[in-house]
A and B are shown apart, each in its own frame.
Chain A
Amino acid sequence: MDPFFAWVEATALSVFLRESASLWVFPFVLILHTVGLAFFVGSNIAWDVRVLGFSRGIPLETLSRYFLVMWIGLWINAVSGVLLLIAYPTKALTNPLFFVKLALIGAGIAVALRIRRDVRGRAGEADVLPTRVQVLAAASLACWVAVIFAGRFLAYTCTRLTVDSTC
């Protein structure tokens, strides 16, 4: 994989992201990734908690509005995440934890979509959801906590920063 990493790191975009001294380049991408995380994971946490029975006054039909916040957060993070990957491909792709993080995000999104489908079918019905949906919400919460831990630990478990430098 090293020739591929070397090629990405030599592209103009990668060099610009890594070497620009402006706070509006690399730090700004990091800020976007953080704000996107807060809205994406945060709105998921709020909905999981609602499904688990907290704050029952929130109508289940309004779930779709909450989903909009989740999707916007997810897109901000997909775009900023790809930019971070272009800046430091070796750092991420040589760390097994990075793939664990991606798998957890995939699982989290799958569970969130499943919860949405289950809740949609019951709009206007009883406010208390069946145990099966509550188990999904608990699994979703666990997933997002794990994603945050995996993401944060990436910075402490990397071995190579670029093709020719260590972390």
Chain B
Amino acid sequence: MLDEVLRSVQTYLYSTPQGEFLRESRWAWPIFESLHFLGMSALLGTVGVFDLRLLGFARRIPIAALHRLIPIGISGFVLNAATGICFLSATPDQYLFNLAFRWKVTFFVVAGVNVMFFYARTFRRLLEIEPGAPPPLAARIAGGVSLCAWIGVMSAGRLLTFFRP
């Protein structure tokens, strides 16, 4: 059942214009890969550092001020979603049936659920905390889970070529 669904997704993605463009252009793939690494850096340099702050690192930086850098991380994520969809469309078989890709998606889901929970429950209370005060347990957990999930996404991404189907 799952296999059939994946096969039809594979056929569809392979026929898309962005997939064909990436397969036929000489330099598009390495350029898109470089952009993918750049987006990753922007995400980790802002969201990753915000996670470290939630864990209690650099407590003198006000949380609200550090949070103003998050749009840069979101821009990085959008860039990576766009370039990522292009890679997936160019060679869908290399991802859909790849164990490392499934791990990558799993880590995404963990990061996504964690961030929704963080903004729904924890974030508002955090803004009232004095700079220098130790962060509450809920914030530490959210920061730790986020950091581990993004490191997991990067690690699984790097392992893709070692798990080629």
A contacts, CB < 8 Å to B: 23, 27, 30-31, 34-35, 37-39, 41-46, 49-50, 54-55, 57-59, 61-62, 65-66, 69, 144-145, 148-149, 151-153, 155-156
Contact = CB atoms under 8 A, between A and B. Distances in A.
B162 A27 contact: yes
Contacts of B69: 46, 49-50, 54-55, 58
Chain B CB within 10 Å, residue with most, of A42, A61, A65: A42
B44 interface: yes
B158 interface: yes
Given A55-B69, A61-B60, 12 more contacts: A34-B40, A34-B158, A35-B151, A41-B45, A44-B45, A46-B49, A46-B69, A50-B69, A59-B60, A62-B58, A69-B49, A148-B37
Contacts of A41: 41, 45
Nearest 10 A/B pairs, CB to CB: A42-B45, A57-B65, A38-B44, A55-B68, A65-B58, A42-B41, A41-B41, A152-B34, A42-B44, A46-B45
Contacts of A145: 38
B23 to A, nearest CB: 15
Q: Determine chain B's interface SS by DSSP, over half rule.
A: helix
Contacts of A156: 27, 29-30
Contact of B52 (A34, A38, A49, A69): A69
A38 B48 contact: yes
B42 A54 contact: no
Interface in B124-165: 151, 154-155, 157-159, 162
A109 B47 CA distance: 22
B61 A152 contact: no
Contacts of A69: 49, 52
User: What's the dominant secondary structure at chain A's contact region?
Assistant: helix
Nearest to B40: A38
Interface string B29-65: 1110110011011111110110010000110111011
Nearest to B32: A152
5 contacts: A34-B155, A46-B69, A50-B69, A54-B69, A65-B57
Contacts of A27: 158-159, 162
Contacts of A66: 49, 58
Contacts of B27: 156
A35 B153 CA distance: 10
A152 B154 contact: no
A49 B154 CA distance: 23
